[in-house]
Amino acid sequence: MATIALPTKDRKLAPYTTGEPIVFPSKAETGRFNRIAYAAAHVVADPLADADPWIDAKIDWDKTIAFRHYLWDLGLGVAEAMDTAQRGNGLDWPGARDLIRHALEAARARPGVKICCGVGTDHLAPRLDTGIEDIIRAYEEQIEAVEAMGGRLIIMASRALAATAKSPDDYSRVYGRILGHVREPVIIHWLGEMFDPALTGYWGAGDHTVAMETCLAIIAEHAAKIDGVKISLLSKEKEIDMRRRLPDGVRMYTGDDFNYAELIAGNEDGYSDALLGIFDAIAPAASAGLARLASGDLQGFHGILEPTVPLSRHIFKAPTRFYKTGVVFLAWLNGLQDHFIMVGGQESARSLLHLAELFRLADKARVLHDPERAAARMSKLLAVHGLA
């Protein structure tokens, strides 16, 4: 245990004493999970790079790939070059392509590990005359690059398509073309506007219920080319409704960082697999919980994962797009990287009060690997802010 003075909303410092963390396995427990589980993984910035962090994304490749090995050791798959890796928010397509190459090289040395890679249209320069064919070509360029490296695909939502499409038919045209040429079944990612305001109205409608009809129609038409769909709408009701209506053989990957425990556990109507940013932050707990679920211990699964939900809701609170700051902050507290510096300068995207509450909730969820080290690092951050 450790005691630290943390800031409060009344502008004071209050002592906080940590509890004892759960000792989770450092490797996946014996036996396979009965859910597919990907962690959307973050990148580790190079803190000593001589570059402008708002413009140049300089990555510490050794630390970044070491974190992927940490996830694989725990039995989790890696969802690479997604929004958790600050894709489109500090990491551009050339940087993402390098990240994918490094990660796939690491994965090839470990037979049996899971990795899927995000492709999109983020290299397409914004222009007033951008057309649907430009968007299709942009998707195809990234798909070709990742398939040439041997990677499986996650088709990310396109800001350019959201800005250009005039109707749901434009979405059908784009996805129909790109799905017609992929080598292996893909995961389609529907990222809600709470994660990225530029994706408001995706699938041609501001109403998610209406938008879902377009998405489901595309999935039904191209089901043989689709492994699953990940929806990140932070609504368990919408996810369950869509999950019930998916064609046979098409998985639902929950992207709901508010309700993941109950969605993964499922009910008599089915369950969701997982592709989650929060699994980056709570990987040992996720691994241990999934092992309990696979062994039939539903109570043990919820006993491990339910306490992490308040932490996740805090990390992903509005503005949700800044959740990456909390993910990287917790990696630093847990000794998984040596600094709290992010590409794009995103370490400044959350307030000190937000980070102090994150510390408390991580402790209550018992996911601080070493509370004394976490408290020492938190104290250093407070000192930088004049709260020594």
The pLDDT assigned to 20 comes to 86
- CA-CA-CA-CA torsion sign (133, 139, 141, 144): negative
Asked whether 319 and 354 are in contact (CB, 8 A), the reply is no
The Cα-based distances of 66 to 42, 49, 73, 285 in angstroms read: 11, 19, 10, 19
The Cα-based distances of 276 to 15, 170, 229, 253, 258 in angstroms read: 33, 28, 13, 8, 10
The pLDDT assigned to 27 comes to 76
- What's the pTM? 0.96
Spatial distance between the Cα atoms of 183 and 173, rounded to a whole number of angstroms: 19
Asked whether 39 and 286 are in contact (CB, 8 A), the reply is yes
**Which amino acid makes up residue 214?**
T
Asked whether 236 and 263 are in contact (CB, 8 A), the reply is yes
Q: 3-state SS string over 140-203?
A: HHHHHHHHHCCCEEEECCCHHHHHHCCCHHHHHHHHHHHHCCCCCCEEEEEECCCCCHHHCCHH
- Burial label for 343, CB within 10 Å (0-12, 13-18, 19+), is buried
The pLDDT assigned to 29 comes to 65
Asked whether 221 and 227 are in contact (CB, 8 A), the reply is no
Question: Whose structure tokens read 């797009």?
Answer: 321
Q: Is 345 helix (H, G, I), strand (E, B) or coil?
A: helix
Which residues pair with residue 297 across a beta bridge? none
144 phi, psi to nearest 5 deg: -60, -40
Question: Whose structure tokens read 């790079």?
Answer: 49
The Cα-based distances of 124 to 39, 136, 142 in angstroms read: 27, 11, 11
The pLDDT assigned to 57 comes to 86
- Burial label for 355, CB within 10 Å (0-12, 13-18, 19+), is buried
**Which amino acid makes up residue 8?**
T
Tokens of 319: 């503005």
The pLDDT assigned to 30 comes to 53
Asked whether 311 and 365 are in contact (CB, 8 A), the reply is yes
Question: Whose structure tokens read 């368990």?
Answer: 236
Asked whether 344 and 324 are in contact (CB, 8 A), the reply is no
Instruction: Evaluate the omega torsion of the peptide bond into residue 168 and state whether it is cis, within 30 degrees of 0.
Output: no
Of 275, 258, 219, residue with least CA distance to 242: 219
Neighbours of 366 (CB within 10 A): 18
Spatial distance between the Cα atoms of 47 and 49, rounded to a whole number of angstroms: 6
Domain covering 31-321: architecture: Alpha-Beta Barrel (3.20)
The pLDDT assigned to 242 comes to 98
Spatial distance between the Cα atoms of 308 and 49, rounded to a whole number of angstroms: 34
**Ranges in the chain, pLDDT < 70:** 29-31
Domain ranges of the chain: 31-321
Question: Whose structure tokens read 């489901």?
Answer: 216
